[in-house]
Amino acid sequence: MTQRTSPTPRSCPNCDGFASAAITTGGRNHRGHLHTITADCPACHGTGTRTTRRNWEGARV
Ligand SMILES: [Zn+2]
């Protein structure tokens, strides 16, 4: 009955749950909106949660 309980929380340790960040590039597009780009955490691919290890590691760096 020794279940493997992970001591780490389920949130991604790389981004601590903040998987996506909107970054303003400082400019505006032709409609006057702020031009933002969304950066996803490369570790969790923008999910904010860490899935099973073998799911992502090995598939892609
Ligand atoms: Zn992450």
What is the mean pLDDT for each group of 10 consecutive residues in the chain (61 residues)? Answer: 62 89 88 90 89 56 54
pLDDT score at 40: 93
How far does the centroid of ligand 1 lie from the alpha carbon of residue 34, in Å? 25
What are the tokens at 53?
A: 């290890």
Buried b (16+ CB within 10 A) or exposed e, 13-33: eebebebeeeeeeeeeeeeee
Q: pTM for the whole thing?
A: 0.51
- Rounded CA gap, 43 and 28, in Å? 30
How many angstroms separate the alpha carbon of residue 36 from the centre of ligand 1? 20
pLDDT, position 58: 57
In the reported structure, the alpha carbon of residue 24 is separated from the centroid of ligand 1 by a whole-number distance in angstroms of: 20
Dist. CA 20 → ligand 1 center (Å): 8
Q: Residue 42's pLDDT is what?
A: 92
The Cα 20–Cα 5 span in angstroms is 27
Q: Residue ranges per domain, the chain?
A: 20-56
What tokens were used for 43?
């570790």
